[in-house]
């Protein structure tokens, strides 16, 4: 079977587009005569913005090198992406599907493995003929199997807003419901490599500003809030500054940048051991003030400091990307209202685990530093 390339988007004559473009940091206003933007038009506009062009490479072409996966496995990922594109689904669905197949089959189109099989599960998604997924031959057809996965995914209310592992589990009903989350970072990378940055594409928005609009990128990441980045990561003047400061007015809402589990909520002690977070701090006071930490897929931890009041979330609470955490303040070691935002790799709270949030968030398709 010859696999088709994803259909290229075509803007109809009836579409009036006004572009004010500063590459993902600027704004793009799309005005449609009928007030509707479809998925193909959205993909075209994402490409125009440089925010993810959408559509996989030809599965018959040479596959890129991705550590841990051979060309045949990556070709199967390309087929999964192509099917999602042909169905008109957004790149977030492709990431979910690829991550699911990574967990279920390591992107290998498995036949019946006898006693090693989980019941009669077969194919990329380990779908069971006895459970109504199709005949053995059908579930071993990557195009058919991908189509069935996407069809079931679309029946899950709010699948595009769920943490990836919840959406995948709702389709697969696995005995290991939390197993999918660990594949999200690499699945995002695979989609980006095969589909020319598609995982950085925006979701549903008529006023399209890439992920900088506050929309959740297909990678599952978004920005904590809009605002200019002031003091940067480990700058010359502040070599021990383990995050970045986003300077905005007090009481501005702060959002979770990705789905995860809240690992810490506290009033951080100052240098004198005091927990005085309900008042404005000052330089030299010490401490993060009211703060939140979240553990995300891939053992990435994000930290949010200097909130004006006790955060709105609690420890061990599951949060979704874009969920409200609290409000901007100036508690702790602070010279004025701002969000101090950190990203730590390997769930390492120390300075050794800290990485530059600007660079990291850019890689997730959710660039920081965008003003209102």
State the Cα–Cα distance between residues 287 and 306, nearest whole angstrom: 9
Tell me which CATH code domain 244-363 carries.
2.70.70.10
Cβ-proximal residues to 212 (8 Å cutoff; 6+ apart), any chain: 24, 25, 223, 226, 366, 367, 370
Instruction: Name the strand (E) or helix (H) holding 362.
Output: helix 357-363
User: Contact at 8 Å (CB) between 329 and 350?
Assistant: no
**How is 250-288 classified by DSSP, letter by letter?**
TT-EEE-SS-EEEEEEEE---TTS----SS---TTS-S-
Q: Is the domain 15-208 a CATH 3.90.920 member?
A: no
Residue 9 has pLDDT above 60, yes or no: no
Please give the backbone phi and psi of residue 248, each rounded to the nearest 5 degrees, phi first.
-145, 175
Q: Tens digits of per-residue pLDDT, 242-285?
A: 899 999 999 999 999 998 999 999 999 999 999 999 999 999 99
Per domain, the residue ranges of the chain are: 15-208, 244-363
Q: Tens digits of per-residue pLDDT, 179-237?
A: 888 888 889 888 888 886 666 544 333 223 334 445 677 778 899 999 999 888 887 77
Query: pLDDT band at 12, cuts 50/70/90?
Result: very low
Q: What is the pLDDT of residue 88?
A: 86
Query: pLDDT band at 291, cuts 50/70/90?
Result: very high
């Amino acid at each position: 079977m010859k696999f088709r390339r994803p259909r290229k988007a075509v803007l109809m004559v009836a579409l009036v587009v006004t572009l004010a473009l500063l590459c993902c940091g600027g704004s793009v206003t799309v005005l449609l005569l009928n007030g509707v933007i479809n998925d193909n038009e959205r993909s075209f506009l994402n490409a125009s913005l440089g925010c993810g062009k959408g559509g996989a490479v030809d599965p018959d072409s040479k596959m890129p090198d991705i550590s841990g996966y051979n060309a045949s496995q990556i070709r199967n990922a390309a087929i999964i992406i192509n099917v999602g594109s042909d169905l008109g689904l957004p790149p977030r669905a492709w990431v979910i599907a690829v991550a699911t197949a990574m967990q279920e089959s390591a992107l290998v189109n498995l036949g019946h493995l006898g006693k090693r099989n989980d019941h009669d599960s077969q194919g990329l998604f380990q779908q069971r003929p006895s459970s109504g997924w199709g005949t053995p031959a059908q579930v071993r057809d990557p195009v058919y199997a991908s189509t069935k996965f996407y069809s079931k995914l679309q029946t899950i209310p709010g699948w595009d807003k769920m943490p990836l592992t919840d959406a995948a589990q709702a389709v697969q009903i696995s005995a290991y419901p939390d197993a999918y989350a660990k594949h999200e970072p690499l699945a995002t990378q695979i989609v980006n490599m095969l589909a020319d940055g598609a995982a950085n594409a925006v979701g549903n928005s008529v006023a399209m500003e890439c992920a900088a609009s506050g929309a959740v990128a297909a990678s599952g990441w978004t920005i904590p809030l809009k605002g200019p980045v002031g003091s940067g990561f480990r700058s010359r003047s502040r070599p021990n500054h383990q995050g970045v400061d986003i300077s905005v007015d007090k009481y501005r809402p702060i959002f979770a940048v990705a789905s995860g589990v809240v690992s810490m909520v506290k009033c951080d002690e100052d240098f004198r051991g005091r927990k005085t977070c309900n008042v404005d701090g000052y330089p030299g006071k010490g401490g993060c003030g009211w703060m939140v930490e979240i553990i995300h897929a891939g053992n990435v931890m994000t930290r949010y400091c200097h909130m004006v009041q006790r955060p709105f979330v609690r420890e061990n609470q599951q949060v979704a990307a874009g969920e409200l955490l609290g409000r901007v303040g100036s508690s702790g070691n602070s010279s004025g209202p701002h969000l101090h935002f950190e990203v730590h790799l390997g769930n390492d709270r120390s300075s050794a685990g800290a990485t530059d949030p600007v660079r990291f968030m850019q890689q997730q398709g959710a660039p920081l530093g965008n003003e209102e």
